[in-house]
């Protein structure tokens, strides 16, 4: 229980009687309120809708410039891709000096944040309702081969810029790798992919999802704004039962020495975001293979990372239990000449890439330097 050591739990237990709750921030966050997390901090925000060729409406957000205001110059566009159980809110949750989206906007980038089908901001369809099982009949492949590709094309069309910088965390980085492996021509559209803790060869994951193969297509996580508010004002905010929530969080993502209990209490205001059961099942299939393979849903064709031609810079954490060091090493070997840099961050866990307030000093300088180099040479 690392957060108990590095966080504010000791003071919390001392100050609050059993069964009580306390405010987790000076203002309440809502899981579906991107504007509330961006505009009060002094940044403009645009909401776009990318309609995919199979009818999903993807909520896509843009911070076109930073706090210094617009300029006459074309800003290099950067697309940020969230991981599983997250949404675009993960890039703007911390302060302007600590959140990657704000840091990039202030450094002169045109920042775009996609949301994969089924999550908080992408629960609409041209024909289906999110209460219908058919709406949830998708896995990781559709997010990569449709959502990512079409969002990338949308950003190109809106900005008039051919090459887009891409930064992905966890499954977000994996989606880009899948798409680039399946369609090498996409490399012409990517200035650089900064992959933070991507998962591919996940045999070292601890999976409990094999039994879910018997279930029909459906939503894996249901989390409305109302449910989130009730949840956060309930067990996870009470000193006596908050430990169970921390245990669950660490069971999923691994322990972190950089995220305090007080931070977790705040982040629970926007986590988790919904996804499909098929998303988890595809990873379950990959995990349960006897040999390390990275393939499409229902034991389909393998994603050949050797076909990726876009430049890739890999960031990994030595304490990451989801994107384990052995998994990262295999990805780097198979990506071959596409790898233009590899950075191993000591003692970094899976969620530290987006939730560690110190990432602005440890990881994000690598991201900004990589993007600057890529756009200067493109």
Residue-wise pLDDT for 209-247, tens only, equals: 443 344 444 344 544 555 555 555 455 766 666 777 777
Whether 350 is catalytic: yes
User: The whole model's pTM is what?
Assistant: 0.86
pLDDT at site 214: 40
Whether 170 is catalytic: yes
The rounded distance, in Å, linking the Cα atoms of 80 and 319 is: 23
Q: What is the pLDDT of residues 338-364, one digit of tens each?
A: 999 999 999 999 999 999 999 999 999
The rounded distance, in Å, linking the Cα atoms of 269 and 248 is: 16
pLDDT at site 28: 65
pLDDT at site 276: 74
Reported in sequence order, the residue ranges of 132-189 that DSSP labels E, i.e. its strands, are 164-169
- Three-state DSSP class for 315? strand
User: Per-residue confidence at 204, pLDDT binned at 50, 70, 90?
Assistant: low
Reported as half-sphere exposure (CB side, CA atoms, 13 A), residue 38 has a value of: 29
> Is the pLDDT confidence value at 156 over 90?
yes
**Contact 257/2 with Cβ under 8 angstroms?**
yes
The rounded distance, in Å, linking the Cα atoms of 283 and 301 is: 14
Tell me the domains of the chain and their CATH numbers.
31-205+300-377 (3.40.50.1820)
Written as six digits, the tokens of 86 are 């997250």
Query: Beta strand pairing status for 56-63 and 312-317?
Result: unpaired
User: Per-residue confidence at 251, pLDDT binned at 50, 70, 90?
Assistant: confident
The rounded distance, in Å, linking the Cα atoms of 339 and 320 is: 20
**Contact 375/165 with Cβ under 8 angstroms?**
yes
Written as six digits, the tokens of 213 are 């193969």
> Is the pLDDT confidence value at 152 over 50?
yes
User: Per-residue confidence at 270, pLDDT binned at 50, 70, 90?
Assistant: confident
pLDDT at site 249: 74
Dihedral sign (CA 165, 170, 176, 180): positive
Query: Beta strand pairing status for 124-125 and 339-345?
Result: unpaired
Report the percentage of the chain scoring pLDDT > 70. Answer: 82
> Is the pLDDT confidence value at 66 over 80?
yes
pLDDT (average), residues 42-52 = 96
Whether 320 is catalytic: yes
User: Per-residue confidence at 12, pLDDT binned at 50, 70, 90?
Assistant: very low
pLDDT at site 247: 77
Tokens 């989206």 appear where?
Answer: 101
Q: Single out the catalytic residue among 32, 141, 320, 327.
A: 320
> Is the pLDDT confidence value at 195 over 60?
yes
Looking at 114-128, 152-166, 243-257, which range is the least confident one? 243-257
Reported in sequence order, the residue ranges of the chain that DSSP labels E, i.e. its strands, are 46-51, 56-63, 77-81, 110-114, 124-125, 164-169, 190-196, 312-317, 339-345
pLDDT at site 207: 37
Q: Single out the catalytic residue among 256, 350, 352, 356.
A: 350
Q: Single out the catalytic residue among 99, 170, 316, 349.
A: 170
Q: What is the pLDDT of residues 83-108, one digit of tens each?
A: 988 899 999 999 999 999 999 999 99
pLDDT at site 378: 67
Reported in sequence order, the residue ranges of 229-307 that DSSP labels E, i.e. its strands, are none
pLDDT at site 210: 40
């Amino acid at each position: 229980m690392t957060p108990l050591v590095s966080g504010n739990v000791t003071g919390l237990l001392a100050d609050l009687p059993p069964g009580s709750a306390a405010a987790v921030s000076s203002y309440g966050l809502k899981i579906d309120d991107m504007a509330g997390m961006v505009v009060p901090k002094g940044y403009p925000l645009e909401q776009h809708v990318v309609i995919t060729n199979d009818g999903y409406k993807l909520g896509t957000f843009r911070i076109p410039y930073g706090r210094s205001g617009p300029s006459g110059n074309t800003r290099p566009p950067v697309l940020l891709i969230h991981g599983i159980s997250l949404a675009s809110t993960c890039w703007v949750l911390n302060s302007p000096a600590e959140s990657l989206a704000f840091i990039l906007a202030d450094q002169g980038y045109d920042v775009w944040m996609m949301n994969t089908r089924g999550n908080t901001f992408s629960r609409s369809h041209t024909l289906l309702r999110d209460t219908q099982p058919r709406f949830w009949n998708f896995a990781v492949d559709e997010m990569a081969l449709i959502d990512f590709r079409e969002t990338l094309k949308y950003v190109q069309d809106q900005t008039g810029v051919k090459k887009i910088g891409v930064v992905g965390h966890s499954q977000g980085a994996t989606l880009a790798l899948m798409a680039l492996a399946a369609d090498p021509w996409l490399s012409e559209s990517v200035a650089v992919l900064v992959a933070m803790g991507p998962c591919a060869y996940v045999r070292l994951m601890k999976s409990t999802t094999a039994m879910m193969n018997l279930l029909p297509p459906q939503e894996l996580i249901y989390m409305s704004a109302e449910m989130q508010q009730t949840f956060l004002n309930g067990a996870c905010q009470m000193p006596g039962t908050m430990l169970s929530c921390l245990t669950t969080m660490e069971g999923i993502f691994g322990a972190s020495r950089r995220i305090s209990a007080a931070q977790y209490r705040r982040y629970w205001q926007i986590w988790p975001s919904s996804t499909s059961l098929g998303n988890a099942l595809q990873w379950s299939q990959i995990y349960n293979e006897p040999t390390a393979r990275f393939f499409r849903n229902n034991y389909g064709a393998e994603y050949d990372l050797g076909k990726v031609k876009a430049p890739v810079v890999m960031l990994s954490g030595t304490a990451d239990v989801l994107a384990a060091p052995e998994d990262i090493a295999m990805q780097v070997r198979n990506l071959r000449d596409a790898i233009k840099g590899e950075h191993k961050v000591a003692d970094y866990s899976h969620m530290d890439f987006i939730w560690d307030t110190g990432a602005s000093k440890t990881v994000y300088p690598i991201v900004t330097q990589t993007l600057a180099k890529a756009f200067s040479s493109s």
